[in-house]
């Protein structure tokens, strides 16, 4: 449904174009959740923005040769107007910060109705009742009354539900969720996650779920793509990834995760930092922090090698052995 091929996104810094996302490839099928995991600066949000066609034109661009297809339709190179039709209609996005992602001067009902009016050409009355239907669907209690309220009268979790309602109002095929629960309380997080899961099943959505929280990944994802310094370094089924991480970065990421069944001293922080997009060298981007690094790793960039039908890994050491 969503098919991304050799996506490269570059940003200009000091007159030079630096890639923030490098030849990223993934596909999401109907009724499937792909979680994209990575540290801050790994390029996961930029990937989502690129899919939405929202890379800021002043400083960034999607490089030639990139391909983003939704339902077989190529989005890269589409004019703004044609993109506006796809955005919100076939592909929708929910954001991290529900507190600021709603217009403070419009009622919640109007904001959901707006998207329906724009994309489906419904009249005000029809859009309003459609808005109520969608708000019911995302389980806003007494939606017909609450939809006349303004965003500041809603709690964070309720606002995120409204965001989801806005995103789903036009029944998109693909939903991009950029850390949708990071700003929420843990109890509310679980509610919002299960709501997204329910809606995915109900509408057969393809969901791209961006997060840095591995606990959330285990909960929602079918497949996982681990990103590091703008590259996908490993893709796997969620069970496979947690059972046997292949890439040393994935391994380190899992080891750095706090767990109830282990002592706090067992947490191993990953030494060093993600290289900035200007510093990525010729070799493997993770090599400077990798405990398995060999000579070759800093000289040549490893390809994404295919381990089996569900698994790929970008590593000289681990890629060839299996």
Q: Which of 117, 3, 133, 16 is nearest to 69 (CA)?
A: 3
Whole-angstrom CA distances from 285 to 1, 6, 137 are 30, 17, 44
User: Around Cβ 81, how many Cβ atoms within 10 Å?
Assistant: 7
- Scanning 27-35, 99-107, 215-223, 310-318 for contacts with another protein by CB under 8 A, the matching segment is 99-107
Is 217 in a helix, a strand, or coil?
A: helix
Pick the closer one to another protein by CB: 92 or 184: 92
**Does 103 engage in binding with another protein (CB under 8 A)?**
yes
How do beta strands 206-211 and 32-37 pair? Answer: parallel
Q: Which residue in 97, 136, 197, 222 binds another protein (CB under 8 A)?
A: 97
Task: Convert residues 34-73 into a mask of x (bound to another protein by CB under 8 A) and - (unbound).
Answer: ------------------x-x---x---------------
d(CA 282, CA 284): 7
Compute the distance between CA of residue 296 and CA of residue 167 in angstroms, rounded to an integer. Answer: 46
CB 6, min distance to another protein, A: 23
| Sequence-distant (≥ 6) Cβ neighbours of residue 114 within 8 angstroms | 106, 127
Structural tokens at position 40: 């801050």
Q: Measured from the CB atom, is 3 or 97 closer to another protein?
A: 97
- Rounded to an integer, what distance in angstroms lies between the CA atom of residue 274 and that of residue 178? 20
If we measure between CA atoms, which residue out of 281, 279, 254, 249 comes closest to residue 268?
254
Q: Does 104 bind another protein (CB under 8 A)?
A: yes
- Should residue 83 be labelled a site residue for another protein when binding is judged by CB under 8 A? yes
The stretch among 92-100, 139-147, 191-199, 307-315 that binds another protein (CB under 8 A) is: 92-100
Instruction: By CB under 8 A, tell whether 211 contacts another protein.
Output: no
Q: For residues 164 and 297, which CB has a smaller minimum distance to another protein in the complex?
A: 164
**Binding string, 152-191, against another protein, x = CB under 8 A?**
xx---------x--xx------------------------
- Which residues form the interface with another protein (CB under 8 A)? 52, 54, 58, 81, 83-89, 92-93, 95, 97, 100-106, 114-115, 118-119, 150, 152-153, 163, 166-167
């Amino acid at each position: 449904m969503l098919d991304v091929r050799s996506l490269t996104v570059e940003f200009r810094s000091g007159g030079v174009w630096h890639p923030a996302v490098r030849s990223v490839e993934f596909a999401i099928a109907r009724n499937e959740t792909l979680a994209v995991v990575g540290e801050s600066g790994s390029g996961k949000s930029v990937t989502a923005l690129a899919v939405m066609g929202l890379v800021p034109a002043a400083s960034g661009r999607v490089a030639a040769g990139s391909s983003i297809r939704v339902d077989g339709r190529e989005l890269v190179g589409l004019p703004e107007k044609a993109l506006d039709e796809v955005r919100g209609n076939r592909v929708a996005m929910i954001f991290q910060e529900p507190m600021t992602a709603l217009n403070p001067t419009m009622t919640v009902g109007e904001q959901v109705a707006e998207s329906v009016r724009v994309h489906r050409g419904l009249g005000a009355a029809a859009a309003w009742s459609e808005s109520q239907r969608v708000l019911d669907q995302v389980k806003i209690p007494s939606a017909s009354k609450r939809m006349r309220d303004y965003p500041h009268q809603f709690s964070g979790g309720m606002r995120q539900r409204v965001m989801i309602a806005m995103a789903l109002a036009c029944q998109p095929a693909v939903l991009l969720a950029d850390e949708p629960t990071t700003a929420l309380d843990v109890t509310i997080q679980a509610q919002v996650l299960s709501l997204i899961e329910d809606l995915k099943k109900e509408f057969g959505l393809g969901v791209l779920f961006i997060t840095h929280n591995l606990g959330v990944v285990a909960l929602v994802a079918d497949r996982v793509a681990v990103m590091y310094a703008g590259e996908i370094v490993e893709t796997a089924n969620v069970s496979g990834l947690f059972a046997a991480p292949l890439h040393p970065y994935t391994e380190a990421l899992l080891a750095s995760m706090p767990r109830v069944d282990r002592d706090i001293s067992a947490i191993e922080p990953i030494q060093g930092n993600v290289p900035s997009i200007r510093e990525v060298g010729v070799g493997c981007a993770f090599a400077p922090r990798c405990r398995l690094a060999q000579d070759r790793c800093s000289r040549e960039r490893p390809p994404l090698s295919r381990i089996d039908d569900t698994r790929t890994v970008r590593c000289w050491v681990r890629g060839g052995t299996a």
